Amino acid sequence: METTETSLMTDQINIATVQQYCYPGESVTYQIRFTVEKTKDVKLQVEWPDVVEVLSVHLPEGLSPLLATIAQDGNLTFLLLPLHGNIKPGREYLIEVSTRINTFFLDQHLHAEAKLVRGGRQVLSEETARLAVFSQSRILKYLPEIYHGNEFLSRYLMLFESFWQPIQQTTRQIHHYFDPKLTPEPFVPWLATWFGVPLDDFLPIDRTRELLRHALTIYQLRGTAQALEEFLKVYTGGEVQITEHRASNFVLNQDNRLGLGRALGKQNQAMKVIVDLQVPQDELTRSGLNSTQFRKKMAEVIQTMVPAHILFDVNCEFIQ
């Protein structure tokens, strides 16, 4: 799954289900998002009632499935995931857990509790998700009362609801498809065309999402040093310093004429921008480029961001 940089360094966790309700025997996917500021001795812990069977756990890239432990304790099912040494501080991660609801036919609510725990005792952040489980098809209420107690008809209608529910869920959450942070990965290129953000295989998916989030601000300030700095910070994941050298000796009045071989004043200086980048050393490994190729790539990117009449130079420093 994708990982995204967060601007706020804090411990936080969120858990939610893909669907808001289900029937006994159906599969339900839980999505768990978390950010940890200091990962030492921290683990992720998720608790479900024992009627919830964990089928699979989809971890973000870089986290081995062997790290996740699923256990039973009394009336609870646990998912435990040690985070120390396995994740980067301040980065948001997404975990998807596929489950099956093995409960009886009774209207009820099942609670799932997600926690970030340090040292086995200190709870850094926690949140609870509630899932409604219905014993009968919700379509029965639209039929005459004589059918309300018909168990066969109820289960038969449940089949149709299972087919329709993904469509209904998409319709209810259609606004998430326009959110760069929440839209499914296959929709990111489509959303990028809305903002005119060029897609680049050089970028991981999380940075493409960040560029989409900042697209409006960047295009409102396009052609300025502020827009260039904002763009390069997201694009490289590093620090950016921009120095502007304004043109000198370029003053015209109605009697001045310019032509071939003629310049204004002495020691003329054109408009020029110096871009100094401090990029993590890991970027070379991730991109598969050497330092010269990386600098050339940055020059190509900057060329698309500065006005045509402005000269520029780019310096790249790679830091651990």
- Domain annotation covers residue 248: yes
Domain boundary among 115, 135, 155: 135
Question: Whole-angstrom Cα distance, residue 140 to residue 13?
Answer: 37
Same domain, 110 and 196: no
- Domain annotation covers residue 65: yes
Alpha helices in 173-306 (DSSP H): 188-195, 205-220, 225-236, 282-287, 291-303
What pLDDT sits at residue 268? Answer: 60
Question: Whole-angstrom Cα distance, residue 208 to residue 199?
Answer: 7
Same domain, 114 and 11: yes
Same domain, 131 and 191: no
Range of the domain at 213: 185-253+263-319
What pLDDT sits at residue 249? Answer: 58
Helices 205-220 and 188-195, interaxial angle, to 10°?
10
Same domain, 201 and 299: yes
- Domain annotation covers residue 215: yes
Q: What is the reported pTM?
A: 0.52
By the 8 A CB rule, do 140 and 156 touch?
A: no
- Domain annotation covers residue 237: yes
- Domain annotation covers residue 179: no
- Domain annotation covers residue 241: yes
Domain boundary among 99, 114, 135: 135
- Domain annotation covers residue 173: no
What pLDDT sits at residue 52? Answer: 93
Q: What is the CATH number of the domain that holds 32?
A: 2.60.40.680
What pLDDT sits at residue 285? Answer: 82
Same domain, 58 and 125: yes
CB atoms within 10 A of CB 273: 19
**92-113 CB burial, b ≥16 within 10 A, e <16:** bbbbebebbbebeeeebebebe
Per-residue pLDDT of the chain (320 residues; tens, 9 = 90+): 444 333 334 688 888 887 778 888 888 999 999 989 888 889 999 999 999 999 999 998 778 888 899 998 889 999 999 988 888 888 888 999 999 999 887 888 999 999 999 987 889 999 999 998 888 777 888 888 888 877 788 778 877 777 777 777 777 778 888 888 888 888 888 888 887 777 777 788 888 888 888 888 888 888 888 888 888 888 888 899 988 877 665 555 555 565 544 455 555 666 788 899 888 888 888 888 888 888 898 898 888 888 887 888 889 888 88
What pLDDT sits at residue 187? Answer: 86
Same domain, 131 and 224: no
DSSP summary character for residue 175? G
What pLDDT sits at residue 1? Answer: 43
Structure tokens at 83: 């985070």
Question: Whole-angstrom Cα distance, residue 183 to residue 194?
Answer: 13
Domain boundary among 103, 135, 167: 135
- Domain annotation covers residue 154: no
CA end-to-end span of the chain: 26
Q: How many domains does the chain have?
A: 2
Same domain, 125 and 21: yes
Same domain, 27 and 106: yes
By the 8 A CB rule, do 181 and 213 touch?
A: yes
**185-220 CB burial, b ≥16 within 10 A, e <16:** eeebeebbeeeebeeeebbbebbbbbbbbbbeebee
Same domain, 11 and 114: yes
